[in-house]
Amino acid sequence: MRILVIEDERKVASFIKRGLEEERYIVESAADGAEGLALASANQFDAIVLDVMLPKLDGYSVLQALRAAGNATPVLMLTARASMEDRVQGLNYGADDYLAKPFHFEELAARLRSILRRSTTEKTTILACGDLQLDLVSHFAYRSEKEIELTTKEYALLEYLMRNRDRILSRSMIMQHVWKHNFDPESNIIDVYIKRLRQKIDKPGQPPLIHSIRGVGYRMRDKPVAGDDVEV
Ligand code: CA
């Protein structure tokens, strides 16, 4: 899941970013309201953590502009002012929840999970491929009901592969989505990560799920088709 954090206080922003990345979210951040609004308008995020007091454009204005443009991304607002009026104002403008500073990271993470669950009740929160399951909210992966421990990047890569199940993904698509870099043909980072994922997911005796497409990239599929290279 991709989260946008719009917060101008550097320490708070990096505290939130670090914590969320440890919980395996992909995090982008913006240090003022205008940059945040531009990022939120140009990209698809699963949720936005939005500070109220921001340079250039305050959090309420960012929220109003997003909702006016039909953007329904769930928003968790942060503020130093915990008065009832502020809380009501944020909710009236379309915030999904509200958290007063200072807060414990655990509380932010719990509120975020809660708004993500709510916003995804109509959509699926579990992706499956064969007997592999990925819970998009709790970030747990299971194969044959056994939990698989994944690092943040391994999780992001697996989520991308599973969201695009049965589709061939080129190395450059994977690079841009998971690493946010342009593909460097000299780098073998994707192959290294795929190898690690395979070691965790494709155990001997189970049908392999990550297939190599020679010269192109990878495809997640529960049954191989002719032309796929299967490396276990
Ligand atoms: Ca602020």
CATH of the domain at 170: 1.10.10.10
Q: Is the peptide bond before 102 cis (omega within 30 degrees of 0)?
A: yes
How many whole angstroms from 99 Cα to the centroid of ligand 1? 13
What is the CATH number for 57? Answer: 3.40.50.2300
Domain that holds residue 94: 2-118
How many whole angstroms from 103 Cα to the centroid of ligand 1? 14
Q: How many domains does the chain have?
A: 2
pTM: 0.62
Residues 100 and 141 in one domain: no
How does pLDDT run along the chain (232 residues), one tens digit per residue? 899 999 999 999 999 999 999 988 999 999 999 999 999 999 889 999 999 999 999 999 999 999 888 888 999 999 876 666 776 777 777 888 888 888 999 999 999 998 888 776 556 678 889 899 998 888 889 998 899 999 989 999 999 999 888 888 888 889 988 888 777 878 889 999 999 999 999 888 888 999 988 888 899 988 766 666 654 4
Chain centroid, CA 57 distance in Å: 25
Spatial distance between the Cα atoms of 43 and 193, rounded to a whole number of angstroms: 25
Residues 76 and 174 in one domain: no
Please enumerate in sequence order all residues whose Cβ is within 8 A of that of 134, keeping only pairs 6 or more positions apart, or say none: 126, 127, 128, 140, 141, 142, 158, 159, 162
Residues 87 and 157 in one domain: no
Residues 204 and 187 in one domain: yes
How many whole angstroms from 96 Cα to the centroid of ligand 1? 19
Query: How many CB atoms neighbour CB 135 within 10 A?
Result: 12
How many whole angstroms from 39 Cα to the centroid of ligand 1? 18
How many whole angstroms from 67 Cα to the centroid of ligand 1? 21
How many whole angstroms from 48 Cα to the centroid of ligand 1? 15
